[in-house]
Amino acid sequence: MDWGMKNRLARIIKPDTGRGVMLAVDHGYFLGPTERLEVPRKTIHPLLPYADSLMLTRGVLRTSVDANFPIPIVLRVSGGSSIIGKDLSNEKITTSIKEAIRLNVTALALSVFVGAQYEHESLVSLAKLVDEGEEYGIPVLAVTAVGKELEKRDARYLSLACRIAAEFGAHLVKTYFCENFEKVVNSCPVPVIIAGGPKLANEIDALQLTYDALQAGAVGVDMGRNIWQSDYPVSMIKSVRAIVHENASVKEAHELFNKLKNTEKSTKTATSV
């Protein structure tokens, strides 16, 4: 692998643990002002020190992240449909490679919609993006199983989607956790990270999901709502981090969360008076 490509990937998946914590805040590109991400800067800023990388669109990057903060950026460069539109799978590449380089990004991210109406277009876009990324040493994260396709959340479908993304040249694949997740990871020749999905009932459920995915071979998370929709987002990202980088058990991570949340609670109270 080219030095630049290898170096960029090492900024996302940390070589000392072989794992990474990516914070996903790209939801607005089709969901608009998602709950607790209404003012992106307010949500993102406190979490930045605890994320290895940040996944977002260029609009939120430019307006809501301090350029002086040294966090690797995974830039979402696909879009074109909204949650109230006809078909979420109707996406194209929305940001050029030149713009990505200007923004000094570490990786590019694009969704593929295997099994959906625009499957072909999204896969061809992936191939094109990989070609462009390869030219400049910028890795591509393929985001699999979004929107309606998420209803098919089983190892058979997710293995198919992840494997196709890897065959098209994606350097990293993001998908959802499912039963028999080992099958998804083992049949995907590039590293797999998991999205958290919609907010789960309790923080311990998201910690369990993280733990189970790593046990099954995932190299990290690209998590959004289960972190910043928690009442204690900083405590949550730190606890996810403990599982990813320190091999904490679910019990240990949850104890850490409970301990940290008391401090986060008192800081919030102090700043609100």
If the CB atoms of residues 77 and 97 are measured against ligand 5RP, the closer one turns out to be: 77
The one catalytic residue among 92, 174, 265, 268: 174
Residue 90 CA, distance from chain mean position: 20
d(Cα 33, Cα 40) in Å, to the nearest integer? 9
**Closest approach of ligand 5RP to the CB of residue 229, in Å:** 8
Q: Biggest alpha carbon distance in the chain? A: 55
With CA atoms as reference, report the closest residue to 26 among 225, 242, 166, 202.
225
Considering only residues 9, 13, 23, 55, which one is a binding residue for ligand 5RP as defined by CB under 6 A? 55
Is 251 one of the annotated active-site residues of the chain? no
Contact between 24 and ligand 5RP (CB under 6 A)?
yes
Contact between 13 and ligand 5RP (CB under 6 A)?
no
DSSP state letter for 153: -
If the CB atoms of residues 97 and 143 are measured against ligand 5RP, the closer one turns out to be: 143
Site for ligand 5RP in 194-213 (CB under 6 A): 195-197
- Which tokens hold the place of 79? 């879009």
Contact between 28 and ligand 5RP (CB under 6 A)?
no
Backbone angles phi, psi at 76, to 5 degrees: -75, 120
Contact between 9 and ligand 5RP (CB under 6 A)?
no
Site for ligand 5RP in 225-244 (CB under 6 A): 225-226
| Angle in degrees, CA 63, 267, 37, rounded to 5 | 30
If the CB atoms of residues 103 and 137 are measured against ligand 5RP, the closer one turns out to be: 103
With CA atoms as reference, report the closest residue to 24 among 62, 76, 78, 83.
76
The site for ligand 5RP (CB under 6 A) is made up of 24, 26-27, 55, 111, 143, 146, 195-197, 222-226
Residues belonging to the active site: 174
